[in-house]
Chain A
């Protein structure tokens, strides 16, 4: 099979379009690149959705953690401690076992029928865990940034008669986002890297539909040669990481556009030391 044919056959194998069986003998470099790239679709799916939903949830959580009322603050603090203090790997296992325990034929809630079958599937179950996890980490980042908003900005807002919701929406939140953005970029990168854990942690890869690392480890086991499959997967991850840095850099530029040229914070990508 030529490489173009392999591409046509396996490019969408990870989402179930393509032959049932994976290549078993005479595995070429092309097979590995195409299938691992196909698995990358899952990593992107998990990362994009978890980041989108998690971002909104994290803002709420950060606001709750900074709330004066302990009724609001304590649950947020515990939630953040729970998800930041324990390994994601254990969270995946725990969530999977929890979802398995749900009744098979769905839950009836106030006359509403909720199907539960999909919770044990990676596309939903693992996504929920990733959303909660990234929310906790991002909330901590946003909370720190919210407390770092310059006092002078808030006093100026008060002096202009901007109060309450308008002050939060127009002064506090944009500055928070601007201050938090470099750290949040790291969080996005590491969430993306964390998506590689999904299929190694309880959630089964149904019909061998898995992510990039799932296929990489499949090939490494098949050929007993880790020196091809893993570097290929690593290459894909580096490529997407660079894209994330690019996109987040554009957002960073927009967030800082009102500042004089010298005081703009350049986006510097730090390693995982914030996790």
Chain B
């Protein structure tokens, strides 16, 4: 990074630290913070979409669809999310490969499960063995995002279906009395008003999502926990920057990062609640109406 970092042994004190904190591996560590933020930013809207779909399915008039929606919203209540994080990527990976296997190698006659092995034809492998490294990493990240989206979609579905029920029923009845079809009154009356009821739940969900993000480590993504363990471990004098076990300090850094992230989020959410409460039939909204 810096020119004077060429010979780390000769460095002392702050200069050593400055050089140490700008090594190539540390740059990867800093970039992994971006990975975590990317996961949060990508997962949140996808999970919200999953949740909206789930909440709509749970209210559907078509019974099997309704049953599916109810099952989806109920599944996170009894089972720890970490089981889903371990299960979903593996299951999806095998599911995708199985589907591709069926399509690409129709004349394959051996069973796919042979004892403790899961064997599909070469062309069905995901990602292909010949693919470059970044495809493997992106695919792993994609599976992680999908796992997070499935789990948090179920949470969001809970929140959203609660919010849909919280919209005053009289409003829907009025809409029906004015001759709006159920579909129209859903989109024009219920959906615009439900967000203020959903916001506290969704805000909490966002905080939970932040706090679930270090679980990326368990999914094999090289995230901040991975690098904190990697960089913090004791380094012998064979390394350019030998140091004792510093994992405690690295994890302390991660703790501060997460505290800052949740603290900031809480403040933004507080403001958003006030903003969305304007003109709403809630206590805060009524109070704000009086103020102005």
Interface residues of A (CB under 8 A from B): 81-82, 84-91, 93-94, 97-98, 100-101, 189, 193-194, 196-197, 200, 213, 216-217, 220, 222-227, 230, 233-234, 237-238, 241-242, 269-275
Contacts and interface: CB of A to CB of B under 8 A. Distances in A.
A149 to B, nearest CB: 19
A239 B109 CA distance: 40
Contacts, number: 127
B248 A275 contact: no
17 contacts: A81-B259, A86-B255, A86-B258, A87-B210, A87-B212, A89-B217, A90-B225, A90-B254, A93-B251, A94-B251, A193-B81, A193-B82, A213-B80, A216-B86, A220-B86, A234-B78, A241-B77
Contacts of A100: 245
Interface of B: 73, 76-83, 86-87, 90-91, 94, 113, 116-118, 154-155, 158-159, 201, 204-205, 207-208, 210-215, 217-218, 225, 228-229, 232, 245, 247-248, 251-252, 254-255, 258-259, 262-263
B79 A97 contact: no
A229 B232 CA distance: 34
Nearest to B90: A226
Helix, strand, loop or mixed for chain B's interface?
Answer: helix
Contacts of A238: 78-79
B86 A237 contact: no
B208 A275 contact: yes
A115 B73 CA distance: 47
Contacts of A274: 204
Contacts of A269: 77
Contacts of A234: 78-79, 83
B205 A273 contact: yes
Contact of B86 (A90, A230, A271, A275): A230
Contacts of B116: 222-225
| Interface secondary structure of A, over-half rule | helix
Q: Which of B79, B155, B229 has the most CB of A within 10 A?
A: B79
Nearest to B254: A90
A194 to B, nearest CB: 7
Nearest to A197: B82
